[in-house]
Amino acid sequence: MSETATPGGSVARGSWAMVTGSTSGIGRETALRLAEDGYSIVVCGRDSGRAAETRKLIESAGGRAVDLVADFNDPAAVRRLVAETNEALDGAPLDVLVNNAGGGGFAPTEDTSEEMFDAAFNLNVKAPYILVGAFAPAMAQRGRGAIVNVGSLSTTMAASGTSAFQAAKGALSMLTKSWTAEYGPRGVRVNSVDPGHILTPANEQIRDMMGGYLAGLPAGRGGRPEEVAEAIRFLVSPRASYIQGVVLTVDGGKTAVVAM
């Protein structure tokens, strides 16, 4: 792949980007846009069929991708993903990491099992921690790289019945700052995007019951996955070259306006 001028800026020759959870929703839209910007993409998620679909979409548009399978709730599977990625890239640089895979069960604290608690932290904290520990040092050695963590409004606004999930997303938000201190001086930019209510396939089933809430947002609607993907695309790009350690909220104005 030759160096190409793109909407996101100039991409280093042979540069790769990993987008976790890129089998659908925000992750897939992000992978497609980074491919448009000239990156080869490591597509990864739990569903092999949907991972292959994302890869084929990228390839049909003239891009390059590999699809790998990993359960981000299993730390051993995440470590295998690291090894499989290094093998697939065969020495090519991974210059972008988007920690998009996440989730967790919702329940009151007294009803949250230890398994639910561990799953929330495995998905939202441990998996990104393993991946950054594996790939950020090489980025720093090259003096370039971008990491974007996909968080949640839960980092700033609490809701009943989501304590484990919120605690995990809060930890990921703090890691954005910690990694900025650790890797920022060596050329690796680390930032976060906090989506609001985004109408991903996983959320389609509750669209109707959320109608009144969404209409009350300043934007008057729910967000689209591609709108979050564009925020991630910006933070990855050279246009954000002096932005480090920030949280870019994509929530239709939810956190800016007090409901009256």
Domain edges within the chain: 10-253
Q: How far apart are CA 67 and CA 89, in angstroms?
A: 12
Residue 4 is predicted with a pLDDT of 37
Residue 2 is predicted with a pLDDT of 33
Name the amino acid, one letter, at 32. L
> The tokens of 58 are what?
């990228």
Residue 259 CB neighbour total at 10 angstroms: 7
Residue 1 is predicted with a pLDDT of 33
Residue 5 is predicted with a pLDDT of 36
Strand partners, 66: 42
Strand partners, 42: 18, 66
Q: Write out the chain's pLDDT in tens, 260 residues.
A: 333 334 445 676 679 999 999 999 999 999 999 999 999 999 999 999 999 999 999 999 999 999 999 999 999 999 999 999 999 999 999 999 999 999 877 899 899 899 999 999 999 999 999 999 999 999 999 999 999 999 998 788 888 888 999 999 999 999 999 999 999 999 999 999 999 888 887 666 555 556 677 888 888 888 999 999 999 999 999 999 999 999 999 988 888 887 66
Residue 209 is predicted with a pLDDT of 55
We find that the CATH architecture of domain 10-253 is: 3-Layer(aba) Sandwich (3.40)
Residue 12 is predicted with a pLDDT of 65
Residue 231 · residue 176 · CB < 8 Å: no
46: left (phi over 0), alpha (psi -120 to 50) or beta: alpha
Across 186-222, b (16+ Cβ under 10 Å) vs e yields eebbbbbbbbbbbbbeeeeeeeeeeeeebeebeeeeb
181 CB burial (10 A radius; 0-12, 13-18, 19+): exposed
Q: 3-state class of 32 per DSSP?
A: helix
